[in-house]
Structure 1
Amino acid sequence: MPRGYSKERTSVHRLHYYFIWCPKYRKSVLTGEAKDRLEALIGEKADELDSEILALAVRPDHVHLFIEGNPKLAPNKIMQQVKGHSSRRMREEFDFGLPSLWTRSYFVSSAGDVSDETVEAYIEAQTGQRSVPTRST
């Protein structure tokens, strides 16, 4: 098995997701004890989801999370679990003066070792022809 890949009973995978999300109204509330507690809560939820945190940066008004995903969970479910768990617990422990801790939105991107062009070239080499039209740039 290639280095860096995880093996399950029926799959081999390497799913890395980069998430960014913000507190409601982009308030700078993620400092001091709140920052430390959020880092711990995200770590707990990652363990529960059988996912590994590759990098985490909590800024006063936003969060960056780079995480190895589990193929049983779509990225939106990972985010739903992380934001839901952390919001509930943080609002019990801290008074942020916000109607909810997080905005409903977030950014997600996948990260990998293989470019789109490499995948397209591999598929073309297997079939001898392009399987989908080339995207216009």
Structure 2
Amino acid sequence: IKAYEERESKRQKLKEAGDGSNGGNGAAEEPKVIPIVPFQACVDHFAQEETLDDFYSTAAQKKGKALRSVGFKSFPRYLVVYLRRYYVDASWRPCKLDVSVDIPEEISLEGLRSAGLVPGEEELPEEAPAAAAAGGGAGAVEPNQ
């Protein structure tokens, strides 16, 4: 990363100093350095715990903070991964991440295996308790039994 930052800084200085040419010395322009990101770093970023500030709890019927985590109960035989190379900047413009992701032939996602609910954790109800007590309302859909 340090080599990339140094070369990018040098390129910016040359671009600001002149008209963007190579200074008239006839040398070929230095190729752009593209950072290589390991696939495991992408998986780790995807799986990291996230705090949700405005989460609405159907159990408590109010907004509050919640922690979101990702885990798998079982794994598919084949896994299709879509790497998002675009993001939205502060002004809501799409920008491309100019990186190369090094993906191995085989990966282990064992670190993402979920053991289920952690102690002290309980599942949220599907709907608000008040709506369930009222019989679901006029537009409620009941599944066939």
The answer to whether TM tops 0.5 is: no
Relative contact order, CA 8 A, sep 6+: which one is greater?
1
**Higher-Rg member (1/2):** 2
TM interval, short-chain normalised: under 0.3
- Higher fraction of helix: 1
TM-score by length of 2: 0.23
